[in-house]
A and B are shown apart, each in its own frame.
Chain A
Amino acid sequence: MEEEGAEYDPEWEGGEEGDGGEYVCKYEYLDHTADVQLHSWGSDLKEAFEQCAVGMFGYMTEIETVEPLDTYETEAQADDMENLLYQFLDEWLFAFSAEPFFIARDVKIVEFDRENFRIKSVGYGETFDLSKHPQGTEVKAITYSAMQIHEEVDTNDVYVVLDI
């Protein structure tokens, strides 16, 4: 989904769920000695993954200062579900760390191929701008430490530790 004429619109609607257009925040940051553990959840695993990516961006800046002026797409390919979560987040970290230095206000998964462990997703955001976006904490890497993906519960909780 693209932003035509790129203007900040708080009523912007996301994806097929069309849940009314407000930004949901289904993630939190948990205690971890040296780094941060991201906990996200959702009405399905797809949403939990999406919220995980947004949570990661939220740690690097004040997410409310990011406007959905542009879109960027990433693809992740893996061998199993944990590896997939890892690659999915790593692709977004890479989009931020190198050209186009993209920071997303929201992330939507457009293809979630569970048989072949592939995800295609779109980010709505803009290029990171030091004069506009406050500097939060840099995420150095995604880790497998204490990674958990719980599909068996309605909340589809996902836990991942980010190296800071």
Chain B
Amino acid sequence: MPENRSYNDELNFLDKIDANTWRIKKGFVPNMKVDGFFYVNDLLEKLMFDELRQHSRAAGFGGFLPAMKQIANVAALPGIVQKSVGLPDVHAGYGFAIGNLAAFDMSNPEAVVSPGGVGFDINCGVRLLRTNLDERDVQPVKDELAQAMFDHIPVGVGSKGVIPMGARDLEEALEMGVDWSLREGYAWAEDKEHCEEYGRMLNADQSAVGSKAKKRGLPQLGTLGAGNHYAEIQVVDEIFDDYASQRMGIDHKGQVVVMIHSGSRGFGHQVATDALVAMEKAMKRDKVLTNDRQLACARIHSPEGQEYLKGMACAANFAWVNRSSMTFLSRQAFAKVFNTTPDDLDMQLIYDVSHNIAKMEEHIVDGKQTTLLVHRKGSTRAFPPHHPLIPVDYQLSGQPVLIGGTMGTCSYVLTGTEKGMEQTFGTTCHGAGRAWSRAKSRRNLDYQEVLDRLAELGISIRVASPKLVMEEAPESYKNVTDVVNTCHAVGISKKAIKLRPIAVIKG
């Protein structure tokens, strides 16, 4: 492995293709089988290169790999097809950068599956519920509503789920996903339609999951989690695409919606951790080499690979059950405050997307239809109009893509495009991506100032951990508008709606 190259030497491997696109040439790191690409605008470009410069300078004591290197390390994995891609919100993660997309040819016996390419929080994702309420209906009871949501939905460190469940229920939920929620009365039948995989990955097998994961998962089902997870009451701020918005039941500015961002909690993390341990052993056994220990992987068709995929499917199902539970609790909170029913409030699920998942999908590669295992870590599927896997009501407008912004800024709804299908296997960004470290945020931001600023913006906030307020402040993140606009400019997704929060519930 070449020792610290100078920053200028690194630049020799980087090519600017157009205003928003850079290529990372083979040789940037050893063993690259394909090139890497990343999408940026001027601001985001600066952040990427600053990070690379710092890395070239550092002695390596306590340091970490910049996102650009990680994108390249992924390009060195066996069986990777066409390119390793960094979306505009890309930032350094474990093995794979967050916002890193990579697809592997399932018919290639060398091709691998990597838990790092999915993320620890398997099926961390976002869903959006609409209502028929308007901002002026909600403003007078905003605090009451935020409090009701906060009281109904367990949040933060050490919180436990309120929906009664035993070990047997958990095992069923792991295999059935949203079908379990439907059976138990926590979801509406229409919810299934508007969810990736219809809320259930069919290859889930609860016997592939260790008891540690189940023990961690059971108390946490139906909890929001902490960190960057949240539930937000938002209003429609801008409509860019009338037709697509109407298909989603959004027809005017000021319409109230609810966004939930959460994942598979400790369950998913344990599944990922257990898989990493098993795969490390398998890699030693099969002599598989990667550039980074966190890029632990296994041949897709090996026992370890298959075991992981089954466990990952269980974790995905867990997250869908989780989001369904919180949907149920949110519907209850609204119904209570408005003294009516969720049905009368038309609280339908617009869509639910995953941004940490691996999917088996058909794509055209070099003119041929090929089955790929697409790893989307911190990136979202964005299928175009007419794609068979998206619901009937979105066939003409394209798959809705939900992009959660940071606390108190804004969020977006996008739609998938044909260009995205060609360029990035139907993938776009997932959110803002961090700019500042948590420690830096804590040092430079004042808790009261952040809260005051949110109050000035008219945003009610309920948060379990005060420290998190600084860590999650908008200043700590890249600008989600920049990220979304870059994707739009590149053509891999199209803006449909901009949303503005009026209440935030966090862990």
Chain A interface (Cβ within 8 Å of chain B)?
A: 29-37, 39, 60-61, 79, 82-83, 90, 94, 97-99, 101, 128, 130, 133-138, 140-146, 148, 159, 161, 163-164
Of B219-227, B239-247, B489-497, the segment with at least 4 beta carbons within 8 Å of chain A is B219-227
Interface centre among B276, B438, B440 (most CB of A within 10 A): B438
* Contact indicator B94/A145 (Cβ below 8 Å): yes
Cβ distance A60 to chain B, nearest Cβ, rounded Å: 5
Which 9 pairs show the lowest CB-CB distances between chains A and B? A138-B226, A98-B215, A31-B437, A135-B156, A146-B64, A141-B269, A135-B157, A135-B465, A138-B157
Residues in chain A near residue B20, CB distance under 8 A:
none
Contacts of A30 in B (CB 8 A): 62, 439
Q: How far is the CA of A98 from the CA of B62 in the complex (A)?
A: 31
Interface readout for B422-454 with A: 1 if CB under 8 Å, 0 if not? 000000000000111111100000000000000
Report Cα–Cα, A97/B268, bound state, in Å.
Answer: 13
Tell me the B73-124 residues at the A interface (CB within 8 Å).
Answer: 91-95, 98, 120-121
Nearest chain A residue, comparing its CB with the CB of B266: A97
B442 and chain A: residue at smallest CB distance: A29
CB-CB < 8 A to A144: which residues of B? Answer: 94, 276, 293-294
Distance (Å) between the CB of B85 and the closest chain A CB? 19
Cα distance A21–B158 when bound, in Å? Answer: 29
| Contact surface of B with A, Cβ cutoff 8 Å | 61-65, 91-95, 98, 120-121, 156-159, 212, 215-216, 218-220, 225-227, 266, 269-270, 272-273, 276-277, 280-281, 293-294, 434-440, 464-468, 471, 507
Give Cα A161–Cα B438 distance, bound, in whole angstroms.
12
User: B120–A140 contact, CB under 8 A?
Assistant: yes
Q: Which residues of B contact A148 (CB under 8 A)?
A: 61-62
Which of B93, B266, B272, B276 counts the most chain A CB atoms within 10 A? B266
Given that A33-B92, A138-B157, A140-B120 are known contacts, is A98 also in contact with B219, CB under 8 Å in the complex? yes
Known contacts A97-B216, A164-B227; A142 and B273 CB within 8 A of each other: yes
- Contacting residues, chain B, for A29 (C-beta < 8 A): 439
Q: Is the CB of B272 within 8 A of A137?
A: no
Closest to A129 in B: B158
Output the least CB separation between A56 and chain B (Å): 12
How far is it, in angstroms, between the C-alpha of A148 and the C-alpha of B64 when the chains are bound? 11
Q: How far is the CA of A79 from the CA of B95 in the complex (A)?
A: 20
Chain B residues in 8 Å Cβ range of A82: 293
| A148 to B58 CA separation, bound complex (whole angstroms) | 15
Further pairs besides A33-B91, A60-B157: 18, Cβ < 8 Å: A32-B437, A32-B439, A94-B270, A128-B157, A134-B466, A135-B157, A135-B159, A135-B464, A136-B467, A137-B226, A140-B266, A143-B94, A143-B120, A145-B64, A146-B64, A148-B61, A148-B62, A159-B62
